Every structure is written in C-alpha cells, then in structure tokens.
Amino acid sequence: MIFFIDSANLNEIRQVNDLGLISGVTTNPSLMSKEDVAGKNEILDHYQDICDIVSGDVSAEVISTQFDDIIKEGHQLSEIDKKIVVKVPMIEDGLKAIYYFAKNKIKTNCTLIFSPSQALLAAKAGATYVSPFIGRLDDWAKQENTGLAMLSDIKTIFDNYNYTTKILAASIRNSQQIVECGKIGVDVITAPFTSLMPLIKHPLTDLGLKKFLADYKKNNL
C-alpha cells in the first residue's frame, strides 16, 4: 500500500518523507489556507516546493466547477511539474474534464467520492485516482465503518473489471483506519501527519527499549 500525506505544511511533508513513509502528497484549498498560502502565484510556487520534496505524485486541486475553467486551470497546474495530478471534484463537468484529461495524458484525482457508483463513473472516465472520503462519510451517516464498507465495495467492483484507476482512501481520521484500508487492499491512503506518526508507536516498544537500555547500562558500567 502506498502512503501519501494530506497536508500543505512543508515541515510535515519533509519529516515524513525523510522517514521513508510517503511517496506523494494530496492537498486542497483548505489545507493551503491553513498554511496562509494565498494568491495564484504563491499557490503555484507552493505546489512546486512540495514537488521538490517528494518523489511521487502531488494532487493539486482545481477550484473551478465549469468544464472550460477546469480545463484551463488543470493545464496550468499540470505544467508546474510532471508530478502534479489534477484534482477534480465528482460533478458532471468534473467527469467531463477527467475524460478530457485522460485523452490528453494528464493525470487526475477525482475527489469528493462518497459512493461506489461515483467511483465507478470516475474510473470509466479515465481517472488516475479516485478519492473516497471515508471519515466524512462516517460523520454524515453517523455510523462508524460506513466509509470502510464503501471502500470494500469499490475494491470489489474495480477488481471485477480490472480497472487501472487507483483507489486513494482519503479523509482518514486515525491510524486504525489506515490499517483497515490495508486489510481491504486499497492502492493508496492519504492521511494527515497526526494519523501517520502514531503508526510508529506502541507502548510495548517503548517499554522493551527502556528495558534493553537499562540492561545494557547495568552490564557495561
């Protein structure tokens, strides 16, 4: 399973990249705003800064919702760096744009997926990635694991028909959801820094290391 970080914070991205945890990055306008990145040129420069850190794909989201504007914005984003994946919302004009981008060999990430049917349509249109939002679906349904059940259904459908579109599980709220995504067999997860870093930790690891060091110190003084 490939790991991306869902962040626009350069320090977070560098830290997890230096650990070898991630292959790429996903971003959105909210994450850019959180880092006080504003204005077209500053946003484009920030995407380049992210691309300079990681070796894999970087999803850069369009803010347009009309076909012609999505195409124009998508071309601008794709020209920043070959790592850029144009992130397009699951709307009618978004699907049309994904189909256009696929024909023109521009990578896309169809975002705001909340059902297997939406993921299926995005795959048929030629999306490179589909991003099902598991945590946000759980919140809306007021029931845990609704998002994971959606992921499982999407995985079954894609396997049935050998779609090459990658399932990129998004809106991950905790480390356990990452483990569950691995059990389902999704291609990629994207998670915030606060969900990625706890994967390293376990109380027994800390206790074991403490004992090993204490025993070494006792026997070597």
Residues assigned a catalytic role: 87
Q: How far apart are CA 11 and CA 84, in angstroms?
A: 19
Q: How far apart are CA 109 and CA 168, in angstroms?
A: 9
In order, the DSSP letters of 129-142 are EEEEBHHHHHHHHT
- Would you say 155 and 184 are in contact if contact means Cβ atoms under 8 Å apart? yes
> CB count, 10 Å around CB of 123?
23
Task: Please give the structure tokens belonging to residue 133.
Answer: 């939002």
> CB count, 10 Å around CB of 92?
10
Beta pairing, strands 24-26 & 108-113: unpaired
Q: How far apart are CA 22 and CA 41, in angstroms?
A: 26
**Closest to 114 (Cα-Cα) out of 85, 144, 138, 95:** 138
